[in-house]
Structure 1
Amino acid sequence: MDPTQRDLFVRLERFYDAVPRDAARGEEHGALVLFVRDGAGWPFYARPRLDATAPPSLADVVAVRERQRELGLPESFEWVHETTPDLLAVARAAGLNVLEAPLMVLDPTALPDPGTLTDVPVRLLDPEAPDFAADVAARRAVATVGFAAAGTARGEAGPAARDAAVPTLDVSALDEERARIVDGRRLSALAWTPEQGALASGMAMRVGDVAEIAGVATLPAARHRGLGAAVTATLARALLAAGTDLVFLSAGSEDIARVYLRVGFRRIGTACIAEPTALI
């Protein structure tokens, strides 16, 4: 690994470690750190410690899983294979299923105008807008429906399925979302039409000059219209305008990675996500 690439992976590791610490405490278990959220919200995961002097062991993984079960948390682990290559075999030996997701970084010179990707307008969520709460709920509902039908294939689930999945958001959740957008730590986007409402959504998390685009989802009935690519491009352009010089993401599959190639992302490695093997 050349020095430039090594520096890139170091920046990614610092980002991955910093993002959960805003809302969670870190519990160290050997060479792993488990992020435990204080209060309600999406649960976090365990990942390699930044200051670890040895790779995580099987005993470390077992200890974390026991702690996750004790706390009622998902038994979830995340890491970058190029940074912690030994953990892949360890996780599998522990009985975990590992998703090896293409890890991709944006080439700003290859980023297209979102308007060339679809004819559906894409807008960023405005925390001062009167419809902010509805927009946040719609973004989450689109993600719920979109990720329930993984992949890029078209399907039947559309606006009706989205509306049925709209969550009830409490005041604290909205306040947290609003605060993160105001201070630049988060961006959210919707591909939206007056007739059909939100058809695709996505978000970005930012720490300093590094940001990750995540949660890009399209309603199955609205796929193959360039919506996911346009949402991604809109978020990437806003991040660059805000002074972010490293924008990255993880694609759920090789097919999804091809969507991001159209937006100017290139593969640099593999992001691993490990969870228990589902029981049939």
Structure 2
Amino acid sequence: MSTLAEIERFYDAVPRRRADAEDHGPLTLFIRRGDGWPYYARPALGVRGAVSAEDVAAVRARQRQLSIPEAFEWVLETTPGLDAAAEAAGLHVRRCPLLVLRGEPVPAALPEDIALSIVAAHDPDLAAVQAVAHVAFGALSTAAGPAGPAERDAAAATLQAGLAAAWHTSLIEGTMVHAAARGGGVLTGPLCVGSYQHALDVAEIVGVGTLPAARRRGLAAAVTAVLARHALDAGMRTVFLSAQNDDVARVYERVGFRRVATACIAEPPEQAERVEDLAP
């Protein structure tokens, strides 16, 4: 089986753990059961033939009926032409590098004051770890910036009791790792976070984000390398991820990932504008 075929099976399998699947011709709509991050529509597994703008519009109508985001995800090389159909249906399409680990992950050197650790649902820093993701994904690109521990702690203080543990449970079917600084420096506590989810011996690294004030220190590369190593040791045959843009992809290439395809995300233009203000 080709790598892209493995990834396609993975993409179909992962949402089914927590979502109901509705068939809409060449598309499958995943509707989340209970609370948590909403899912999306994607090409039906093994679909042959073109997906039309009318197919996309019909699923969008169903998403509006259910009051869930009008979101579609797919791999361009596996379902060519869906990007044109989505745009014809009025959606904005983002095209992101999709990279696969080739060989062993390359460990990244860390500053002496940084330690990496696995995050458990009972971790006392869990709220701060979640807040790292919130702050990191609210800052554009990979550029360094002023947002740091103070902004992280302010975001953590707004979380409802138990919400961080619920987030941990809903996000991950694999392992979560965070980089934290110890000691009395300006940058203390959780600074970078990432995780992977897995199915059918395939692992996808997701949600790698660094506080802007802690960027350009190699934290994202180090977290990614540890996650990739953990996934391989757990028996995963294929480890992959998608990057926001080419600049982010270069971070992952230093770890041993190579671009093999293009991951597409389609949303209404107003929804896409909000998402494009996020960064890994």
| Candidates 191, 194, 197, aligned match of 1:205 | 197
Instruction: Please list the CA deviations of residues 81-133 of structure 1 after superposition, one character each: whole Å capped at 9, or x if unmatched.
Output: 00001101111111211111000000133x2224x244421111134xxx52x
C-alpha spacing 1:234/1:15, structure 2 compared with 1 (3 Å): same
Q: What is the RMSD computed on CA atoms of the aligned residues?
A: 2.1
Q: Which residue of 2 aligns with 1:3?
A: none
C-alpha spacing 1:93/1:265, structure 2 compared with 1 (3 Å): same
C-alpha spacing 1:194/1:173, structure 2 compared with 1 (3 Å): closer
Whole-Å Cα distance in 1 between the matches of residues 177 and 251 of structure 2?
17
Letter in 2 for 1:112: V
Q: Which residue of 2 aligns with 1:70?
A: 65
Instruction: Please list the CA deviations of residues 43-91 of structure 1 after superposition, one character each: whole Å capped at 9, or x if unmatched.
Output: 0011000042323211111111111111111111100000001101111
Identity of aligned residues (%): 51
C-alpha spacing 1:45/1:118, structure 2 compared with 1 (3 Å): farther
Whole-Å Cα distance in 2 between the matches of residues 137 and 46 of structure 1?
30
Report how many residues are paired: 266
Extract unaligned runs of 5+ from structure 2. 274-280
| Candidates 15, 21, 24, aligned match of 2:10 | 15
Extract unaligned runs of 5+ from structure 1. 1-5
Q: How many angstroms does 1:169 deviate by? A: 5.5
C-alpha spacing 1:70/1:264, structure 2 compared with 1 (3 Å): same
Whole-Å Cα distance in 1 between the matches of residues 43 and 268 of structure 2?
18
C-alpha spacing 1:85/1:104, structure 2 compared with 1 (3 Å): same
Q: Which residue of 2 aligns with 1:150?
A: 140
Whole-Å Cα distance in 2 between the matches of residues 273 and 156 of structure 1?
29
TM-score by length of 1: 0.88
Equivalent residue of 2:35, what SS?
Answer: coil
Once superposed, which parts of structure 1, at least 4 consecutive aligned residues long, lie more than 6 Å away?
none
Whole-Å Cα distance in 1 between the matches of residues 217 and 255 of structure 2?
14
Q: How many angstroms does 1:193 deviate by? A: 1.7
Q: Is the Cα–Cα contact under 8 Å of residues 100 and 240 in structure 2 kept in the other structure?
A: yes
Matched, 1:266 2:258: yes
Whole-Å Cα distance in 2 between the matches of residues 86 and 139 of structure 1?
39
C-alpha spacing 1:191/1:176, structure 2 compared with 1 (3 Å): closer
